[in-house]
Amino acid sequence: MTKDPMTVAVIGTGYVGLGTAALLAHIGHTVTGIDISEEKINLLRAGQVPIHEPGLDDLLASVQDRLTWTTSYDSVHTADVIFICVGTPPGPDGTPDLQYVVSAAARIAPHLNGHAQVIVNKSTVPIGTGDYVQRLLEDHAPGYDHERHRVVSNPEFLREGTALQDSLYPDRIVLGGHPDALQIMARLYAPLIEQTFTAPAAAPRPETYTRPTVVNTTLQSAEMIKYAANAFLALKISFANEIAGLCERVGADIEEVATGIGLDGRIGTRFLNAGAGWGGSCFGKDTAGLISAGREHGYDMPILQAAIDINTRQRQVIIDKLMRQLRTLKGKRVTVLGMAFKPDTDDLRDAPAHDLITRLHQLGATVTAHDPIAMPRAAREWTHLTYREASSVQDALHRADAVIIVTEWSDYRTLDWNAHLKGMRGRLIIDARNIIRTPIDAHVEQIGREAPVGERRALT
């Protein structure tokens, strides 16, 4: 608990905004969450969290005495720190759409008061957006004072599914802006930096964790750090998938190869998992955003473009494996297991399953889809797709000619495959996440490696 509680406003109640609000309230600050969506605000007031993130509902419930939810910007007037946590979706050419950032800044401006206030860009934004927001405040705030109203870039590095752990025990905290504003941010984050808060039951402190590194830098460098970090992680995944393709052709095992190269301290073991490729709201958007920034300055970035191209190709690799075995998909029933872009979230943005369902339907297959968590959201957001929603894994596999494992949910990792295969018409499994580790009575295709001995059998 902080000895110096502050008043905070958080604009936006998506993944970043809710995580930020929960974190700051937990370490002792008074927080108001603001969103233009009355539906979201009403849900939050009723104690319901509009997204799926393990442990978040419990953490929000435990700090409800320090949390207020509203559609009004009036609370900005009394806030010491105002976080902008709105979406920046990519446009057709990959350039981030800043309309929500611009709207938030314009709505914040009239409510700024005479004491020192820090406006924090938590959203992922193009390099130079911090200066742009500063100009917007100048234009729209009647009492604007450049010495009292400072803009800071404080990018988030959360992974959906482990957002609480990432928020409470980060590798680093990046702060970009004027030194006076960074001092205020240091006060705000003091319990986090010093790790003096009580760890919540939903996210215990790792035994080996000490404290985060604080990176104080400029607005532009902080904005670049966020983009460059995500682009590099996307590059690692695409690199692993490219190597996996060659592993299949020469008889190597991508998992053994990834382990061997990852043990080199200069490379590291994380984000070298071959599979269906990356998805979600960050990697594709941020990599495309960097390419767009380079294009704006007449600077080509071919390595980043290759990462995107390889990720797109990886989804076709899965279809190719299916086609090699079934020859044609016309009249075939194909089951897609996993719709969210990764396990432990219901986020469907840029999910590989979306592209696979689209392509399977185009090729004439009847598609059945299942996900432990994301199906209700898919029913709202994927109305343009053609598929049957399965009520259970057993229902999903019933009379299927083939199965594609797209998301590595624990439900699928621990499945008794031999028991469930009995309801299938065919025995073909495209394991695009390499989660099947023991022999089963089916023909299994994996990514970058031979399936476990005894699985690969002739299809009848």
Mean pLDDT of 401-409: 97
Tell me, what's the pLDDT at 454?
A: 55
Q: Which of 217, 242, 264 is the last residue of a domain?
A: 217
Span 412-423, pLDDT tens digits: 999 999 999 989
Question: Exposed, middle or buried, 328 (CB in 10 Å: 0-12/13-18/19+)?
Answer: exposed
Tell me, what's the pLDDT at 282?
A: 83
DSSP state for residue 114 in the 8-state scheme: S
In a domain, 373, yes or no: yes
- Clarify whether residues 15 and 132 are in a common domain: yes
Told to judge if 282 belongs to the known catalytic residues of this protein, a careful annotator would answer yes
pLDDT band at 128 (very low <50, low <70, confident <90, very high): confident
- Clarify whether residues 200 and 326 are in a common domain: no
pLDDT band at 393 (very low <50, low <70, confident <90, very high): very high
Tell me, what's the pLDDT at 214?
A: 97
Tell me, what's the pLDDT at 113?
A: 86
Count: domains in the chain: 2
- Clarify whether residues 140 and 285 are in a common domain: no
Question: Do residues 185 and 118 lie in contact, with contact meaning Cβ atoms separated by under 8 Å?
Answer: yes
Percent of the chain with pLDDT over 70: 98
Residue 460 carries which side chain, given as an amino acid letter? Answer: T
Tell me, what's the pLDDT at 459?
A: 54
Span 220-261, pLDDT tens digits: 999 999 999 999 999 999 999 999 999 999 999 999 999 999
pLDDT band at 311 (very low <50, low <70, confident <90, very high): very high
Does the pLDDT at position 301 exceed 50?
A: yes
Span 145-176, pLDDT tens digits: 788 899 999 999 988 888 899 999 999 999 99
The Cα–Cα gap between 114 and 362 comes to: 60
CATH of residue 137's domain is 3.40.50.720
- Mean pLDDT, the chain, integer: 92
What single string gives the DSSP state of each residue in 348-361?
-TT-HHHHHHHHHH
Residue of 22, 282, 404, 444 marked catalytic? 282
Does the pLDDT at position 91 exceed 90?
A: no
What single string gives the DSSP state of each residue in 401-426?
SEEEE-S--HHHHT--HHHHHTT-SS
- Clarify whether residues 334 and 210 are in a common domain: no
Tell me, what's the pLDDT at 174?
A: 97
Domain that holds residue 69: 7-217
- Clarify whether residues 236 and 208 are in a common domain: no
Q: Going by DSSP bridges, is the β-strand pair 30-34/7-11 parallel, antiparallel, or unpaired?
A: parallel
In a domain, 368, yes or no: yes
- Clarify whether residues 145 and 252 are in a common domain: no
Tell me, what's the pLDDT at 151?
A: 94
The H-or-E segment that residue 270 falls in is none
Span 71-86, pLDDT tens digits: 999 999 999 999 999 9
In a domain, 261, yes or no: yes
In a domain, 1, yes or no: no
Tell me, what's the pLDDT at 456?
A: 46
In a domain, 323, yes or no: yes
In a domain, 150, yes or no: yes
Span 22-70, pLDDT tens digits: 999 999 999 999 999 999 999 999 999 998 899 999 999 999 999 999 9
- Clarify whether residues 24 and 119 are in a common domain: yes
- Clarify whether residues 203 and 242 are in a common domain: no
- Clarify whether residues 87 and 209 are in a common domain: yes
> Taking the CA atoms of the chain, what radius of gyration do you get in angstroms?
24
Does the pLDDT at position 324 exceed 80?
A: yes
- Clarify whether residues 437 and 369 are in a common domain: yes
Mean pLDDT of 171-194: 96
Cα angle, residue 396 at apex, residues 393 and 401 outer, rounded to 5°: 125
- Clarify whether residues 316 and 207 are in a common domain: no
pLDDT band at 115 (very low <50, low <70, confident <90, very high): confident
The Cα–Cα gap between 284 and 382 comes to: 19
- CA distances (Å), 39 to each of 34, 49, 58, 345, in order? 12, 11, 20, 20
Residue 370's nearest CA partner among 392, 350, 343, 403 is: 392
Q: Which of 157, 186, 217 is the last residue of a domain?
A: 217
In a domain, 179, yes or no: yes
The Cα–Cα gap between 112 and 106 comes to: 11
Does the pLDDT at position 457 exceed 60?
A: no
Tell me, what's the pLDDT at 455?
A: 45
In a domain, 2, yes or no: no
- Clarify whether residues 209 and 275 are in a common domain: no
Tell me, what's the pLDDT at 147?
A: 83
Mean pLDDT of 295-303: 94
Q: Which of 217, 245, 267 is the last residue of a domain?
A: 217
